[in-house]
Structure 1
Amino acid sequence: MIKDIKIAVLIDGDNIPSKYISEMMEEITKYGTPTIKRIYGDWTKPHLSKWKSVLLQNAISPIQQYSYTTGKNATDSAMIIDAMDILYSSRVDAFCLVSSDSDFTKLATRLREAGMQVYGIGEKKTPEPFIVACDKFIYLEILKSSEEDTNDKSKTKKDNLYNITPNVIRLLKNSVADAADEDGWAFLGDVGSLIIKKQPNFDARNFGFDKLTPLFKSLNQFELEQRDQPNARFKLIYVKNK
């Protein structure tokens, strides 16, 4: 059950394509309720015209920020100032920063220092410093491809963002070992949380899997076990390194 976590969603309109809006907002609701939704940009510029048609549908408030100086990103400054105002108003429990710009790295770090949960959403080109500054980072490309998969079941492995490399296997095996009990078994939920702490942009969907369980099942380096839990409809999944 999703906790009633209030999220401030702040979107860098200059940096994010409007075509992702539906999938992006649907993804955010998995983590809480977006109570503040704002997008920043110079709305007198033609490149933001595509955003205008989807803002009303998604109840996102456009924030006008004129580009007073050539070469300076006024949108970033406006978004950062708003984020700090929201932080000190104590109206939300978490932030979702939607951008592929590393300029928000310091903001994400500052919000986390204040005890805020910070989710980042951006394209695969997002620089590593911003990604690791967030508690969790989601690539827009996997959100779009997830919707396309429902209409095209013939998607192949080449459409995935990443391949399962030896480094990925090492991350999974080390995380299982770190979360394991004396018998080597680890609750998969704990393993997933630990992986995200180590690598915020890790997502089973990056590798073509909807969830973490089928990802582990596809790898012969691991053993999975289902366990009953009292008075519950669902079984708990445990994983062990072979």
Structure 2
Amino acid sequence: MAEQLLKSRGVAHIEKVLIERDPERRAEMMERTGRRTVPQVFIGDTHVGGYDELSALDRAGGLMPLLETRVLARSRAPSQFFTEGKFMSDQQNNQPFFNIQRIYLKDLSLEQPNSPAIFLEQEMPGVEVEVDVNAERLADGVFEVIVTGTVTAKVATKVAFLIEAKQAGIFDIRNIPNEQIDPLIGVACPTIIFPYLRSNIADAITRAGFPPIHLAEINFQALYEQRLAQINGQQGEGAANEGAATKH
């Protein structure tokens, strides 16, 4: 099923490594993934997980950006398992390189200021969702990208719950032109991170005693373009104000 899904997304070549009769490869797979089951899907040097994770990433809109960054980075084709041996040579040859070091939950907070009385309310709560993206350069070619999701549920004026979660990823982005790095950080990276954020928020809401709320898919391309427009507008306004001040 994983192979069929990848092919349906335009992947022409998939390298398969059969580990059933190869104890060394099985041990290597377990060391790299921490898992015993197959298939384990890698896209380039990035471990996606099994079919369920691959399918979830695709449903959230994160699979195609990851495949596209692999094309940009001229990385290996998606495979169900392969070793690390080739990827350092790609960096040494100054080839474009994009890799996920890790995805992790950076922060999670939950407030229920009106519990337990709020559970007695018959009215369904209204829900507000805010999503924001921030990034920081950790080292040369290494970036942390944080997607923050804030979910506020209210019954009339009473807050049922307030959840803020920060899902982060550390990415290697090397030998890629500067004008292409910003779209990677602003679009591709958040798209990869978002399914994990959505899952953690839904889990936290359930643990808080409420039905899970699954955040709608986010068009990070549109958010990125909106931020660029705001920045350009602020710069244009600043230049206009400076010109007006000069005329005085």
TM-score by length of 2: 0.27
Q: Which has the higher contact order (CA 8 A, sep 6+)?
A: 2
TM-score by length of 1: 0.27
Higher strand share: 2
